[in-house]
Structure 1
Amino acid sequence: MTLGTKIAWDDTVLPFQLDKSDIRGRVARLDGVLDGVLKQHGYPPAVEALVAEMALLTALIGQTIKLRWKLSLQVQSKGAVRMIATDYYGPTEDGEPAKIRAYASYDEARLTDGSPFDQVGDGYFAILIDQGSGMAPYQGITPIAGGSLKACAEAYFAQSEQLATRFALRFGKSSAPGVPEHWRAGGVMLQHMPKASPHVSGDSGSGDLGLLQAEDILNEDDGENWNRANILLDSVEDLELIGPSVPPTDLLVRLFHEESPRVFDAQPVRFGCTCSEDRVRQSLSIYSAKDIRTMTTDSGRVTADCQFCGAHYDIDPLSVGFEAQEPEG
């Protein structure tokens, strides 16, 4: 793909590389994905903003995982927003869309008039990668720090992976004549290419809570290249990230033309959930008939709701558990 190529980039992630700076990156634009993630829940505005930011981070980070792998981001906190969880399912075949889902758990009575991130208290930011059956899942955790979810992700990569990482994110509700108001998001991720032996200065980092930052893990030459690319990224405008009219290829030329950017195949992403009645039945298969009776509603049914997509399941209690009755007939 050449840099002059126009692509429809809503709900896509475009990977690229800055050869002169030894930096890789991704450009993402989310539209329908966010509609799928948010429309089921009726979150308060601050919670919606946090979920939108987390979904955008998930799209940018998830593009690197392999086919059929699953990447999850989680925030667990003591604040009003107790948890934010997102999943990115790698495509089953090359060229197929990846799938994203997300949800948040929160205490509405504790929400304040502060910024969205003010609703997140002390806790941790985690990334988990599930490589499939027979492989142990990978998990990395860092404390919540830095004043935003993107800052948490940057600290995670510096601290846990020793990779200098930068995100420029924009997200919010979009309105246009004849189009219902809806959430849109766009962002750029920069990441210094990994080295065999990262440079780490000192016993602790220069970031919040002593966490490592980019300047703590890059040598002088790499640091100069990294700073130059970040200065260029700082010039990005909101509408270039979130607006409908600037293709990512044009954006990269505008920002990084002196860095020799190369782009690769774009990855489409869609909202998608893996819940099903079969999965609900499987999760209930470990329970006895006595246990199932305690889960049965007054109307004589076992019900379950998916936290991600809002799907509702209504099941005959006699048909689940390890003492389930065989169907007649």
Structure 2
Amino acid sequence: MTIGSQIAWDDTVLPFQLDQSDIRGRVVRLDGVLEQVLSQHSYPPLIEALVAEAALLTALIGQTVKLRWKLSLQIRGNGPARLIATDYYGPTDDGQPARIRAYASYDADRLDLTADPFSQIGTGYFAVMLDQGEGMVPYQGFTPIAGGSLSSCAETYFAQSEQLPTRFSLTFGQSAEPGRATHWRGGGVMLQHMPKAGMSVAAEAGSGEGGLLTHSDILGGEEGESWTRANVLLDTVEEIELIGPQVTPAELLVRLFHEEGPRVFESQPIRFGCSCSEDKVRNTMSIYSQKDIEKMTTPEGIVTADCQFCGAHYEMDPKTLGFEGKNG
């Protein structure tokens, strides 16, 4: 297998449908994107794991939504892993890549480096936010931190907020491929049962943790059996199959779901990308008075700002900032 053929499916999301069931899905492979996301910071390993999982979820969920601009995930908790934030920017034109960025905020002195990464989030919420651009009302959906992983939180979100049974199987880690430096790779599969027309279950009628809805509260009969069968098949996947690079996404789908009639659609390329700019920093500071700006000014007489996502560094003249500032 050549490096060129590997590139064809690295950093992509492949949509598919199981024609024998009302189930759609996505296969994600992140290689260079995940490496760029994590190389922006020197995170402890357990924070790297949370950011990697969140980035994979973002790629899968973002590609599922008919998106004009941005989808964001935020995981906030009262534990030492205070915040995991990701953004997915939809393609600006047909054939163009989507873009992903991600970062984490954490208390290094409170981290238990021997603990399960998810346990370091504590109590909090998992949020999905959609911004469809100017003139559109942003959407925000929240679900409590529940289950044993960020994937479980995302599954709970879709069951509770959208009443869509959803399953994620993800893996990620450092890859040591022959002829390449050690680097991050990640991969995963998302399954989602298509919505039933006119079907609605009371949100408080769930049988899951804390009364939250699960797939068994939403599906029954043949649909429930089809969903269970697809999940049993997904349970047979091996980490090396998810992460690649020797198994293509299409080959993976045939191996897992050949009896379900998998049908694939056009894949979506993904790149690392950030939307920060000096103009956006200035706009953010436009709410402050000159007195406030003075408090942000360094002894060298400048105001600095660093992007938490990509590490870009900005230096600005304080006289040009704030609502009293004068540009030019």
Structure-2-length-normalised TM-score:
0.95
CA gap 1:287/1:199 in 2 versus in 1, 3 angstroms: closer
In structure 1, the partner of 2:98 is 98
Partner of 2:160: 159
Alignment of 1:111 with 2:111, yes or no, is yes
Counterpart in the other structure of 2:65: 65
Return 53-62 or 34-43, whichever deviates more.
34-43
Amino acid at match of 2:311: G
Q: Which amino acid aligns with 2:117?
A: P
Pairs within 5 Å for 1:281-320? 281-320=282-321
Partner amino acid, structure 2, of 1:211: L
Q: Decide which moves more: 159-168 or 172-181.
A: 172-181
Measured in 1, the distance between the counterparts of 2:19 and 2:163 equals: 20
SS across alignment from 1:176: coil
Compared CA separation, residues 203 and 76, structure 1 to 2 (3 A): closer
Where in structure 1 do 4 or more consecutive aligned residues deviate above 3 Å?
A: 199-203
Check conservation: 2:167, 2:191, Cα contact below 8 A. Answer: yes
Query: Residue 321 of structure 1: CA displacement?
Result: 1.9
Residues 5-43 of structure 1 deviation map (CA, whole Å, 9 limit, x = unaligned): 998211000000001111000000001111111111100
Q: Cα offset for 1:288?
A: 2.2
Classify 1:172/1:6 alpha carbon distance in 2 versus 1 (closer, same or farther; 3 Å): closer
Distance 1:315 1:71 in 2: 30
User: In structure 1, what is the equivalent of residue 268 of structure 2?
Assistant: 267
1:278 aligned residue: 279
Quote the residue 1:325 is aligned against: 326
Alignment of 1:132-281 (within 5 A): 132-198=133-199, 200=201, 203-281=204-282
Task: Answer yes or no: is the 8 Å Cα contact 2:74–2:127 preserved in 1.
Answer: yes
Tell me how many residue pairs correspond in the alignment.
323
Q: What is the rounded CA distance, in whole Å, between the counterparts of 2:321 and 2:327 in structure 1?
A: 10
Task: Tell me how far 1:323 sits from its aligned partner.
Answer: 2.1
Residue 203 of structure 1, CA deviation: 4.6
State the one-letter code of the partner of 2:273.
Answer: G
Gap regions ≥5 residues in structure 2? none
Tell me by how many angstroms 1:93 deviates.
0.5
Q: Deviations over 1:280-322 (max 9, x none)?
A: 1111222222221111111100000111111110111112222
Give the corresponding residue for 1:81. 81
Residues 124 and 67 of structure 1, relative CA distance in 2, 3 Å threshold: closer
Contact 2:6 2:245 (8 Å CA) reproduced: no
Mean Cα displacement is larger for which, 312-321 or 198-207? 198-207
Q: Aligned-residue CA RMSD in angstroms?
A: 1.6
| Structure 1 residue runs without a partner (length 5+) | none
Distance in 2 (alpha carbons) for counterparts of 1:7 and 1:292: 47
Q: CA deviation at 1:196?
A: 1.6
Letter matched to residue 226 of structure 2: N
Q: Distance in 2 between matches of 1:183 and 1:197?
A: 43
Q: Distance in 2 between matches of 1:104 and 1:188?
A: 24
2:203–2:213: 8 Å Cα contact kept in structure 1?
A: no
User: Structure 1 residues 288, 33: CA separation in 2 closer, same or farther (over 3 Å shift)?
Assistant: same
Q: Is residue 6–residue 249 contact of structure 1 (8 Å, CA) maintained in 2?
A: no
The answer to whether 1:12 aligns with 2:12 is yes
